[in-house]
Amino acid sequence: MLVASLLSVSLALVASATPGASAEARAEAPSQTLWLVQPMYPGQDALVQRAETGIAGLLPEDVKPKQVLGSKALATHLQGRSGDLACLAGGARCREPLGTYLASLGLERVVLVRVGQDDAGYRFRAVSVRSESGARAEAETSNPSFDKALAGVMVKFLSLNAVVEAVTEPAGATVFIDGVKVGVTPYTTEVLPGEHAFRFELASHLPREETRVVASREHVKLRPALEKVPARLVVKVLPEGSAILVDGTVVGKDAVDQGIQPGKRTLRLTQEGYEPHEVEADIAPGATYTLEQELKPTSMQAFKLAMRRRQAATMARQSYLEAAYEFSSLTSDTLTAQPVKSEGGVGEVRGTGVRAPGSRRLRGLGLEYGRYGQYFGVMLVGATWYSTGDVWTMGVNVPQAATAPGLTGLTQVDTKVQMLSVRALQPQLRYVLGPVSFAIQAGLDIRGALAKEEDDGSGFSPRFKDGLYALDLHASGQASARIFVYEGLYASVAYQRGFSLLSKIAGTSNFRGGVGYAF
C-alpha cells in the first residue's frame, strides 16, 4: 500500500513538474513536508477537506512555512521546479531513487494520511517517508471525536503537545484532566491540542473546574484559587432510595458527605410511602453537622411492609404437616357393596340405595404431608378415616340361588359405615398474601368403605357377620386457606369435592378444618 501510494505521488509530481528549471533550484536542499489526504472508505470524500482544514489548524505557526498541505498547495509548490529523474530512469545509481527524486523537488518528507468513519468513530491511518534516508514511520488512531483522532495521529510526526502548568492556592489539590486523575499540584504535564476539562479537588475545599481550548505547543498556566469549605454536612437516611434535600435542592440519596456554606439550612428527607422528615439546621462555620434518620412509614406503608415480611416468612417454609377434622356427605345414594366373606351362595350380593336420616353424613380425621416451592407444590401423602354418626339403611339384592338361612326375601339392612381415603402426589398451586396462604389441589383418591349391620338391642344376629365392603377410585379437587398464627403454626379451612370414577361409592362433598405446622 505504501509503495503504491508513493508511486501515485511520484507520478503526480512528474506530471506536475515543470521542465527546464535552473540548476540552483535542483540543488536546493529539501526542507518541505508534503501532506496528502485520501479517503479510507468509498463515498467519504467530504472528510478529506475537513482533515486538511484540521491539519492546518494544528500546525504550529513556526513550521507552517515549511508545510505543503493538499494537492492545490502541491501544484503551487511545483511551479518552476523540475525533479531529477536520473535515478528513476536508470541513468544514475542512487540508494533511494524515489527519495532522491522527491528531495530534488525540495520535499524533505511525505506524509500520506487516510481518513474514514465507521462504527467506532473517526479513524486515521498515516505513513511518513523521509526522502533522503527512506526512514518510514506509521501511526493509526480512532476516536469518536474527529479532532482528538486527528491530533492523535499527527502527534506521531510533529511536536504538537501543549504544556500545562497547574498551581493551586493552597497546593496539594488533586488534578483531573478530562475526568482522569493525573497528579497533585503543583503539577506540569503535556496534552494534545484541543478542548480539555481541568478539575481540581482538595479536602475541605470546594472543587474547581474549567474548560480550555489548547493550541499546539501552547504553554498553559492554570492558577486556580480554591475556596475553603466553611462547614461539612454528613447525612445518612433509611430506607434505601430516600432523597436528601438542602434548601429544596436534591443533593443525594441515602447518604451525603460534602461541604456546605454555614448558616441556616433546611434539610428535608423524603421517600414515597414514608413520612417526610424536615430539620432546620443552624450550621456553624468550620463545624460538621451530622444527621442520621430512619423515616417512619405511613400507616399504609407500614401495613405493606408487615405483609411483605410475613409473606417472605411464609414462603420460606417449604414443608408442612397438617391434621384435620372433616365433615363429609355423600352426593348421591350410591354404595355398591358385597359381603366381605361369601356365605351360603351370597357372594354376588350387591348393596344399593343408601338412605339415612342425616343426609348420608360422615365425620373423619385426616393427616397429610406435603412440600411447597414459591408458587407450586405437591401433597406427597395423606389419609382420612371416616365414620357415620347415624344408622344408614342400605338396600340389598340377593340372588335367587342364595341358600344361607335368614336371607330369603332380604331387601335392606341397617348399617354403620366406616370409610378410608388414601391420596398421594397431588399437585398444588398456591398464592401467599402476608400471613395467609391460598391453595388449590387436585388428584386421585383410593377409597374403601366397610358397612356393618347395627344391633337394635333385641338379640339381633347379623346376617353378614363380617359386613359389606366397597372399593372405588375418586377424582377430587380442593380449595384451602391457611392463616399463620405464630411462626410455622397455622390454622386451615378447606372445601373438597370428590367424584366417583368406578361408580362404587358415591362422590363426596367435604368441609374440613385443621391445624398444621410448616417448616
Check pLDDT > 50 for residue 3. Answer: no
pLDDT of res. 305: 79
Residue where the block lists cell 391453595:
439
Check pLDDT > 70 for residue 512. Answer: yes
Stretch 65-77: mean pLDDT, rounded?
A: 86
pLDDT band at 1 (very low <50, low <70, confident <90, very high): very low
pLDDT of res. 406: 54
Give the lowest-confidence range in 293-307, 359-373, 474-488, 505-519: 293-307
pLDDT band at 261 (very low <50, low <70, confident <90, very high): confident
Nearest to 185 by CA among 213, 221, 228: 221
pLDDT of res. 460: 58
Sheet holding 32-39, edge to edge: 67-69, 32-39, 107-118, 121-130, 136-143
pLDDT band at 397 (very low <50, low <70, confident <90, very high): low
Share of the chain above pLDDT 70, in %: 84
3-state secondary structure 187-202: EEEEECCEEEEEEEEC
pLDDT of res. 25: 42
Check pLDDT > 60 for residue 93. Answer: yes
In tens, the pLDDT along 127-160 reads: 988 877 778 889 899 999 898 888 888 888 888 8
Q: Where are the beta strands (DSSP E) in 434-507?
A: 436-453, 468-486, 489-500
In tens, the pLDDT along 168-209 reads: 999 999 999 998 999 999 999 988 888 899 999 987 788 889
In tens, the pLDDT along 245-255 reads: 999 999 999 99
In tens, the pLDDT along 399-432 reads: 554 555 555 556 677 788 899 999 999 999 999 8
Written as nine digits, the cell of 20 is 527546464
CB distance 417 to 375 below 8 Å: no
Whether this model's pTM surpasses 0.95? no
In tens, the pLDDT along 203-219 reads: 778 888 999 888 888 89
pLDDT band at 20 (very low <50, low <70, confident <90, very high): very low
Stretch 219-248: mean pLDDT, rounded?
A: 90
pLDDT band at 72 (very low <50, low <70, confident <90, very high): confident
Q: Where are the beta strands (DSSP E) in 243-375?
A: 243-246, 249-253, 255-260, 263-270, 277-283, 288-294, 319-330, 338-339, 350-355, 361-372
CB distance 78 to 105 below 8 Å: yes
CA distances from 353 to 6, 40, 100, 337, 484 (A): 112, 98, 124, 11, 43
Share of the chain above pLDDT 90, in %: 38
Stretch 373-380: mean pLDDT, rounded?
A: 90
Distance, CA of 180 to CA of 141 (rounded, Å): 20
pLDDT of res. 125: 92
CB distance 484 to 438 below 8 Å: no
If you average pLDDT over every residue of the chain, what do you get?
Answer: 83
Q: For residue 482, give the amino acid letter.
A: R
CA dihedral of 433, 437, 443, 449, whole degrees rounded to 10: -150
CB distance 126 to 155 below 8 Å: no
CA distances from 438 to 312, 376, 428 (A): 15, 11, 10
Stretch 477-494: mean pLDDT, rounded?
A: 93
CA distances from 309 to 158, 305, 306, 393 (A): 68, 6, 5, 54
pLDDT band at 23 (very low <50, low <70, confident <90, very high): very low
Check pLDDT > 70 for residue 511. Answer: yes
Stretch 467-493: mean pLDDT, rounded?
A: 92
Check pLDDT > 90 for residue 448. Answer: yes
